Amino acid sequence: MQYLYRNQIREIHVEPTSRCNLACPQCARTFKGKGQAELPLQDIDHEIYAKLFSRELCARLDHVYFCGNYGDPVAAINLLDEISFLRAQGVPRISVFSNGSLRTPEWWQELGKLLSAPEDKVAFSIDGLESTNHLYRVNANWEKIMANCQAFIRAGGRARWDWLVFAHNEAQVEEARELSRRLGFVQFNVKSTARFASDQSYKSGKPESAAKTRAGDIEPGENKNVKQFSSVVARFGSWTNYINQTRIKCKYQGIGALYLDFEGDLWPCCWTGAAKYFISPNTQRDQLEKLYARYGRGFNSLYKLSLDEVLAHPWFSGELAASWQANMDAAVPKLLACGRTCGADYEFTGMIGTSNSSIEDLTSEANLIR
């Protein structure tokens, strides 16, 4: 089965850069408190935006959003220019995810003016108040975040506050919700993380009790994913058995979405390609290396191929969907990322609409950005 046909594409998730100013302990770009050395630091060139976002494709898109696995979109040198370009090409709805502590209020004001369509938004990832945000968002600057988000909102931008819950911030959720209301955010989104289940946990069946930072340990607190992980392992005998057996209902395919990473590689979703720079040894990275050994690096590169050529590649046109009926060690493996994120009995992602996201509308304008 074809993963997606061109005329089914409705949404594109773009990782405009691998750069970021933070060192969040559970982020793939962080290793032992520092940037993972193997990660190339680069932005997507305009050439790739121009190649992918034809007027014909943009006319059919509902949404383009800038987020990613490794970078903060606001660190991309060309972000404002590329947003203007997408607008001119006819993209109706654009969103940006950011930790909010890069750039100046003037820059955020510009972004607020550019994101003026009724459903545009910025999701500010702020996982704490002044006393706690930097504990997970290592190197974040509270004053800058406050100045930047207010500049964006005053310029007419619609903002959502995304809050990841940990032990150190769970008592502050209501205070933060109240602050977000006062600042003019239109939504407040409480997110539960699944990242206390590490690659080691996948092998041992035991979730991590903490994530290490230079300042101390980050603990999960009341985290439903930790319990869900343990109950899946108990029911299926092991995490590997779960991944091999679970039925895949692909989230991105359901929406008609694709993912473009910072190197210009096109993936079915942000999870399938995420492991490119995971620190080895790692099950997901090993599986990706197996795909590269079979297909060659660049099999999904927009620097080398057109969108139609990538979609016609054997993986996109049949072998990926066939792998969902296979095992993790098959020639075209069922990816751990597929089983974990789009399997039947475990919720990994904090995407809106999943059980890991609990959203509240704060104003009458809020329904415009769901």
Q: Does 229 bind ligand SAM (CB under 6 A)?
A: no
Q: Which residues contact 70 (CB under 8 A, 6 or more apart)?
A: 15, 18, 20, 27, 28, 29, 39, 262, 277
Q: Which stretch binds ligand SAM (CB under 6 A): 1-9, 91-99, 201-209, 231-239?
A: 91-99
For residue 162, state whether it binds ligand SAM (rule: CB under 6 A). Answer: yes
Among the listed residues 350, 272, 366, the one whose alpha carbon sits nearest the alpha carbon of residue 15: 272
17 touches ligand SAM by CB under 6 A: no
Which string of DSSP letters, residue by residue, matches 29-54?
TEETTEE-TT----B--HHHHHHH--
Per-residue x/- mask for ligand SAM, residues 30 to 69, rule CB under 6 A?
-------------------------------------xxx
Q: What DSSP character marks residue 344? A: S
Q: Is 72 in the site for ligand SAM (CB under 6 A)?
A: yes
Identify whether the C-beta of residue 46 lies closer than 8 Å to the C-beta of residue 76: no
HSE toward the beta carbon, residue 174, CA cutoff 13 A:
1
Q: Of the two residues 98 and 109, which places its CB atom closer to ligand SAM in the complex?
A: 98
User: In degrees to the nearest 10, what's the CA dihedral of 49, 286, 27, 316?
Assistant: 30
Asked if residue 27 binds ligand SAM (CB under 6 A), the reply is: yes
Least distance from ligand SAM to the Cβ atom of residue 29, Å: 8
Cα atoms in the Cβ-side hemisphere of radius 13 Å centred on 126:
30
> Does 164 sit near ligand SAM (CB under 6 A)?
yes
Strand 257-260 to 266-267 pairing: antiparallel
Q: Rank residues 30 and 287 by Cβ distance to ligand SAM and give the closer one.
A: 30
One-letter amino acid identity for 215?
A
CB of 321 to ligand SAM, least distance (A): 26
**Contact flag: residue 198 with ligand SAM (CB under 6 A):** no
What would the x/- binding string for ligand SAM be over residues 121 to 150, using CB under 6 A?
Answer: ----x-------------------------
- CA distances for 231 relative to 75, 247, 343, 347, angstroms: 39, 17, 14, 12
Stretch near ligand SAM under the rule CB under 6 A, chosen from 19-27, 35-43, 45-53, 76-84: 19-27
For residue 16, state whether it binds ligand SAM (rule: CB under 6 A): no
Shortest reach from residue 367's CB to ligand SAM, in Å: 21
Positions in 178-197 near ligand SAM (CB under 6 A): 193, 195
13 binds ligand SAM (CB under 6 A): no
Q: How far is the CB of 175 from ligand SAM (least distance, A)?
A: 19
Integer-rounded Cα Rg, in Å, for the chain is 20
CA distance 338 to 268: 10
Q: Which residues bind ligand SAM (CB under 6 A)?
A: 20, 24, 26-27, 67-69, 72, 97-99, 125, 162, 164, 193, 195, 350
